[in-house]
Each structure stands twice: as C-alpha cells, then as structure tokens.
Structure 1
Amino acid sequence: MSEPEHPSPEPLTPEHFSDAEIPLPESSPPLQGERIAFTGTLASMTHQQAFEMTEQQGGTATQHLGRQNTMLVVGEEGWPLEEDGQPSVKIQEAADLLHIGHPLRILQESEWLQLIELQEPDQESHKLYTPAMLHKALDVSVNQIRAWERRGLIKAVKKVYRLPYFDFQQVAGVRRLLLLLNSGISPTQIESGLRKLESIFPNVDRPLAQLELLVHDHHLLLRDGIGLLEPASGQRFFEFNPSDEDSATEDDESTITFPTESDQDKFSSDNPDVLFQESCRALDSNQLDQALWGFRQAIQLVPTKAEFHFHLAETLYRQNNLAGAIERYHTTVEHDPYYLEAWTQLGCLYAEQNRHPEATRYFQAALALHPDYPDAIYHLAEVLQQLGRHSEAASHWQTYLHLDSRGPWAENARQSLQQWEEQIKGE
C-alpha cells in the first residue's frame, strides 16, 4: 500500500520573516578580545596613535607584555634591536612565552594594518617605495640608497623604466644596522642579537647577510673615542689635523680641485663599464672630482649610454652646478626617452629655480610614462599649488594618498588637501 502523497512545502523566502524575527548580524571589531603590545619603531604612526587605534577597533593596548597578551606587533622601521645590538625586551619576553607554549601571535606592522583594514593585503604597491620616498621616510639620501643597491645590500623588488621600488623594511633594516655599527656596537654583538630573533622571524638570514656586507665593505670605518676603526680587520685609522684641512678649504672657496695623476691612474681602464663602476664608487665616497672625471671618460668611449649621462648629472648637481646638471639630464632623456628619474629630476631642478611652468611639463612627461609614479605625482601637486591651480593640485594630492597613505609625504599631502578644503568652504 503506497504512502499518501504530501504536497511539497512552499520554498521559504525572505518575505516569510520580519526583521524582528531574523536580526542582521553585526560584525565584531577586528581586534575584539585582543590584548596587544607594540615593540620597535612603527613606520605608519606613533605608539600612542597605535594604542588609540587598538582601542577604537575593540582591543586593549598594553605597555608591557605578559601572559594576558594575545598579540605583539613589531614595528617595521628597522629591526627591533636596542642600542646595545640586542633584541628589545618585549621580543625576548615573546620568545620566552612561545617557548612555554603560550598562544601569542606576533605580527609585523603591515600585517596588523591589514587586520584593521588600514592597508589592503592585495595592493603590493602600498608596501614598495621609490628612493625619493625612502629618503623622506628614513632620512637616508637617495645617493646612499643607490649605493646600497649597487653594493648588494638591498635589492629592488621591481623596476619601472629603470626606476627601482624597494621593500621599506629591507632598507630600514640596513639603516638600523649602520646606526648600530656607527655607534660603536661590534658586528659580533649585532650578529648575536639577530640570532636571537631567529625563533620569531624566519627571514633573519637577510639582515645577517646585510651585516656581513657592511662589515666587509672597505668603505666602512667606525668612529670611537680614539679615532677611526675598520670593523672587519680591527685596523685603526687616525685623522691628522682634520680641522686644518677644513679651514683651508673654507679660506679658498674659489679653488677647483682636479684629480691628481695618481687619482687618474685609478681610472686608466679602456673599458667604459669598468670606468663607470669606479666612478660610482668615487661618487659613493663623495670624491666628486674623481667621479666627474671618470664619468666623462666613460662618456667619451660610449657617448650614447644614458646611464653614464645620468650619473654625470647627479655628480654635477652635488657640486651645485645646476646648469650643468640640467644639460646632462636633458642629454639622458635624449638617449633614453623612457628614463623616468631623469624626467623627474629635470622637473625638480626647474622647480628649485622657481621655473614652475617648465617643471610642470617635465613631471607630466614622467607621468605619461608611469601614471602611478608617486614622486612625480607629489612634486607635480606642489608645483600646481605654487601656480595657483589648487583644484588640480588637490586631485594629485588625492592620487598620491591612494598610492602612499603612510609616509611623511602622505602627511604633507593631507595637510595640503585640508587647507584647500577649508579655503573652498570659506569662499
């Protein structure tokens, strides 16, 4: 005997329920229930601002690290090493907690920013910085950053028309190591401190390799109470009457120093690439006359090499020869119209001379090649503001903030935008 058939129930739809019967779930703050401590220098904000942000996102910020903590955030402006080269107290405490099995999460600053949705995880460009951006953020000269790249201390993550983009923490790490070395901390002490980070940071091999390169770089001399010391060999160097040499230079500002015969012997190669590398080393050592001579010799051998002209322009600029630098930057883009940094440098030099209409054209030329070039966007906004074209400047400030929301330039961009908005309201 067959079972009686029952009609199929009518499918349920949202109309069957009232809002009172099915309350919409409210999302919890991303840091709810978390007790968070911070260590190291934060690149995006101060520790006080991070505390306030933690509270706003439902968490509890603590000055000290203990068993009640669930998270430790490590700042990305250099490795978390103290002035003695050893890990910070909180890092050592975190290692102890992990050793006994305490469930402590350790996040890099950028990971924490992603967690509270202040940084998009899929926008890699937000983590990459041009040499000029790093100069502003870390107070390291663009020339120094280029020198570090040439010596293998840092490596560009990507290049756009010769323009290198670097990982912020990689460059900040080198800066931190140099500060420790220059303060007199021995390489052995720093290595010991880095080794203690291995249980927490799996990529500690990178700063160890950077440290080795720094120590074995023959240009590195450390100053202590006695004089200058080369850490690789322990050899000591003494300065003889440096004040006398300085005063002699100041007394005769009109004197132009040319490389001596022995200096020129160092650049006696007929290979233009060898000449170029030797000249770059002279430039890194601030031996500008030698660098100038070497770059000119390389150009005589290969007149069409854009990179040779660009570095000659850089040398001339550092010698305060603006007219000569501008001419060589022009020659650079004549030989390579895609040399982004040369276009931007031309814009900066014209802006430096208050020739803002010309500067605008060169920044626009750079952006025609690379529309997301942060340096050119920022400088173009500055020039447009000087020209009184405030609405156009505001548009570029906004574009810049989309690309870089964390650095010192970003703060300047926000202030300029705020001033423009207040001006609009007052009209």
Structure 2
Amino acid sequence: METVDPVTSVPQALPLAGERVAFTGTLASMTHREAHAEVERQGGTASEHVSRQTTLLVVGEEGWPLEPDGQTSVKLQHAERLRTEGRDLRIIRESEWLDFIGLHSHRDALHRLCTPAMLSRMLDVTVHEIRRWERLGLIQAVEHVCRLPYFDFQDAAGVSRLAALVNAGVPIRAIQNSLAQLESVLGVGSRPLMQLEILATDRKIVYRDLSGRLKTTHGQRLFDFDGPAPDDDSGPATIPLPVPEPGAPNRTNWTAGQWFDEGRRLADEGQIEAAIETLRMGLMSEHDAPEIHFQLAELLYRQGETRAALERYHVAVEIDPNYLEAWTQIGCLLSELGQHDEAIQAFRIAIDVHPDYHDAHLHLAESLHQAGRSPEAADHWRKYLEFDHSGPWADAARQRLEEFEKTATDPATQP
C-alpha cells in the first residue's frame, strides 16, 4: 500500500505495509481497538494473537506485561519461542512503535508528568499510597510546582503493576525472573528490580502495636503463636512503636520535622488516630508549618471529619497562599458539602497560581456544571482533555462536552 508525498508527489509505502502486528500488555497511548485501527491505516494487518505469521509484537508501556502469576504475558512467551525457532519477528516497545508510524505526540505522552491526584485516577490507587511510594523511594518527583510534585507516569505505572503482584502474594523470585526476561528482550534496565526489592522488603516488615499485636505495614493483623523470636534471623524484622524508654531522649525536644516524619510513618501503618495526635505535637513545635497542617487535614478527612479537615486546609493556604494541593482540596471538600460557588473560587485561585494545573481545571469544570454554568465549564473540560486523552475521567469530561455541545446546538433549547 502507498501514499503520495504532498510535497514531491512521489508514492511512498505506508510504514506498516506487509506487517502483521500484535499487541501485548496495556497500552498507555490508546486502547487495543484504536491501535488495531491505526495498524490498518498504516498499511498493516492487526492480529489479536501471536502466530507464525506475526512479524511485529508491540509491548504496551502502562505497567509491565506480566500475568497475575508474575510470568511474562502469554503473547510475549509465544513470540520468544518463535524467535528461537528462527522466525523473523520483532518485539518492540509501544514508544518505538509510535515513533515508527509517526505518532510523536502520542509517544511523548507516555512520559507525561502527573500529579498524585492524576496518578490516583489513572492507576486506580489512592493518593495516600502514591505518597507512600515516594517516601519509600519507589518513585521520585521529576519537578515541583508550588509544593505540588509531578511524577513520570510510566515509572509510576510500572510500580503499580509490581505492587499489585507483590500484594497478591506472587513469589518475588518469579517476578524477578520475568523482569530479567524483559530486560533481555526490551532493555528495561535495573530500576524495576530495585523497585521490586523495596516492595518485597516493605512487605516483610511487621511491627508490634502498643497492645503487643503483630501487624504488617499495610495494617494486616498477624497471628503470633510463639511470640517474638529476636534470635531467629530468618523471620521478618519487628519494628516496635516508638515508646519512650528509660534514658531515651525526651520526645518533647523533638523538632517539628521529626514529629512530621513520625506522623507519616504511623499513617502508613494505618494508625490514623495516633498519627493525628503526633502531627498535633509537631504543630506545637512549629505552628506555621503548612505541610503538617496539610497532612493533618488529609488524616482528619480519612476519619470522616470533613469540617475539621477543611479548616486545616485553610490554615495551610493562610501560611502559604500558593499551596496548590491545599487549594484544590478546599475546593473538593466545599463541593462535597454542596458549596459550589465557594468551591469554584478555590479552584480558580489554584489555576491563577498554576494555569496548567489540570486537576484544578477538571474539578472547576465539574463545579461549574453542578452550579448550572456549563458554558463556562466547557473550556475547562477541553483544557483537561489536552492532557488526559484516555481513562474514566477523560471519558467523563468528553461525555460532558458532548452533552453540552448537543444542548447548545439543539433549537429546542434556544431562547
């Protein structure tokens, strides 16, 4: 199949002419259905399965192509066997495929930078868990804008897949072997293995609460038949809660930062009430620390104390008027309480501080819609869709836009 170069008028072969293409794993740039249609447009033939006729296997880059048992995907295993038999079958990453067919904007989107809230929506994990990944060193912020961290989407998606496997009890060795295979085929580097090691170590750590009960860092209570065995190096490490001991430094001399770190650790372990009290102690040392107020607000909200959380978020922005996440949370809580006009004001302030803050555009659009101001909301839905092209929130924004545009052009709705 050929196209004609618009400049030279010379016929050119389409990039995928003669190729039979299959896909494995989750694609970050589009759905499998859309990818199949793109293959056909580029002159190739799309296939649901890998066979002896397959010439190209594209590996999706939203997380790793690993099965629920930790093994590499069935399609990837089949492709590797065919290559061993001498078949001319190439295995490439999604980003390489996009580059090859000229979809450079889609390729660049694979490494788009996301806030914790964006990652939460895209990966279906809580914002709290994403912040915990950062504290563990699983992901690192690429940049900060007014205290707002931005993470590489692809890196976070990989962690999400590994964390799901580890939490499901898949043997670490099986995952390691699969990652080693991906390294040999795709050159994924050593970072996934490092992330897996952190996840595995974190899962083994347990602690004793003040009642002597044994729990994991994920809050799961364990049966302790024999009591602690400090001489048994093969068992998991036990971390007691920080109870003052004779001769230990007086905790009343702790800095606000020490109280803050301790409060976050307790929150990670599911001890929310203890974490709240610990953060309050930190504020006694430094009452104008906006990040402590913000963290305290999050924990109060998790306890169902919405009004108290809202007050703490307000304190955070009183101290730091450019605290983007705090303004956004104020808007979200006000919207939840039905105070849409006040929520709109909070979201507008966040956008004034950072015009490209897509979370704020999405929330502002929804609040404007709820307030019966859909024409104003439309611009902000469009702004959000410039960043997020797929996923449930993008679909919701697109649906809102379609409903608005249909209503706007319907003669029956015109005055």
> What is the TM-score normalised by the length of structure 2?
0.82
The question of 1:78 aligning with 2:78 is answered no
The question of 1:270 aligning with 2:250 is answered no
More displaced, 55-64 or 42-51? Answer: 42-51
* 1:296-375 equivalence runs, <5 A: 296-375=280-359
- Distance 1:277-1:327 versus aligned 2 partners, 3 A rule: same
The question of 1:388 aligning with 2:372 is answered yes
For 2:313, give the aligned amino acid: Y
More displaced, 289-298 or 29-38? Answer: 29-38
More displaced, 167-176 or 283-292? Answer: 167-176
The residue that corresponds to 2:385 in the other structure is: 401
The question of 1:154 aligning with 2:119 is answered no
Q: How far off is 1:52 after superposition? A: 2.7
Q: How far off is 1:304 after superposition? A: 1.5
The residue that corresponds to 2:179 in the other structure is: 194
For 2:20, give the aligned amino acid: R
Query: 1:142-180 CA deviation, whole Å, 9 max, x = no partner?
Result: 000001101101112222112122222222222222222
The residue that corresponds to 1:208 in the other structure is: 193
- Secondary structure in structure 2 of the residue aligned to 1:37: strand
For 2:92, give the aligned amino acid: L
For 1:162, give the aligned amino acid: R
- Distance 1:121-1:42 versus aligned 2 partners, 3 A rule: closer
Alignment gaps of 5+ in structure 2: 1-6, 207-213, 226-240
The question of 1:90 aligning with 2:75 is answered yes
Correspondent of 1:144 among 129, 136, 140? 129
8 Å Cα contact 1:42/1:75 also seen in 2: yes
For 1:355, give the aligned amino acid: Q
8 Å Cα contact 1:214/1:220 also seen in 2: no
- Secondary structure in structure 1 of the residue aligned to 2:322: coil
- Secondary structure in structure 2 of the residue aligned to 1:165: strand
More displaced, 95-104 or 398-407? Answer: 95-104
- Secondary structure in structure 2 of the residue aligned to 1:345: helix
Report percent identity of matched pairs.
Answer: 50
The question of 1:423 aligning with 2:407 is answered yes
* 1:240-251 equivalence runs, <5 A: none
- Secondary structure in structure 1 of the residue aligned to 2:292: helix
Q: How far off is 1:128 after superposition? A: 2.0
8 Å Cα contact 2:114/2:153 also seen in 1: yes
For 1:229 and 1:321, locate their aligned partners in 2 and report how far apart those are by CA, in whole Å: 26
- Secondary structure in structure 2 of the residue aligned to 1:107: strand
Correspondent of 2:44 among 59, 63, 70? 59
Q: How far off is 1:281 after superposition? A: 1.1
- Distance 1:357-1:115 versus aligned 2 partners, 3 A rule: farther
- Distance 1:106-1:159 versus aligned 2 partners, 3 A rule: farther
Q: How far off is 1:204 after superposition? A: 3.5
Correspondent of 1:377 among 348, 361, 364? 361
- Distance 1:113-1:374 versus aligned 2 partners, 3 A rule: farther
Correspondent of 2:149 among 159, 164, 167? 164
Correspondent of 1:182 among 164, 167, 171? 167
Query: 1:108-144 CA deviation, whole Å, 9 max, x = no partner?
Result: 3344345555551685697222211211121100000
For 1:340 and 1:406, locate their aligned partners in 2 and report how far apart those are by CA, in whole Å: 24
Q: How far off is 1:48 after superposition? A: 3.2
8 Å Cα contact 2:142/2:150 also seen in 1: yes
The question of 1:217 aligning with 2:202 is answered yes
- Distance 1:158-1:96 versus aligned 2 partners, 3 A rule: farther
For 1:193 and 1:420, locate their aligned partners in 2 and report how far apart those are by CA, in whole Å: 47
Query: 1:90-111 CA deviation, whole Å, 9 max, x = no partner?
Result: 2234445556776544333344
- Distance 1:30-1:158 versus aligned 2 partners, 3 A rule: farther
For 1:52, give the aligned amino acid: A
Larger Rg: 1
For 2:354, give the aligned amino acid: H
- Distance 1:123-1:42 versus aligned 2 partners, 3 A rule: closer
For 2:104 and 2:381, locate their aligned partners in 1 and report how far apart those are by CA, in whole Å: 18
- Distance 1:229-1:280 versus aligned 2 partners, 3 A rule: closer
8 Å Cα contact 2:116/2:131 also seen in 1: yes
> What is the TM-score normalised by the length of structure 1?
0.80
The question of 1:48 aligning with 2:36 is answered no
Q: How far off is 1:362 after superposition? A: 0.8
Q: How far off is 1:401 after superposition? A: 1.1
> How many pairs were matched up?
375
- Distance 1:88-1:121 versus aligned 2 partners, 3 A rule: closer
Q: How far off is 1:195 after superposition? A: 1.1
Correspondent of 2:398 among 414, 418, 422? 414
For 1:230 and 1:334, locate their aligned partners in 2 and report how far apart those are by CA, in whole Å: 37
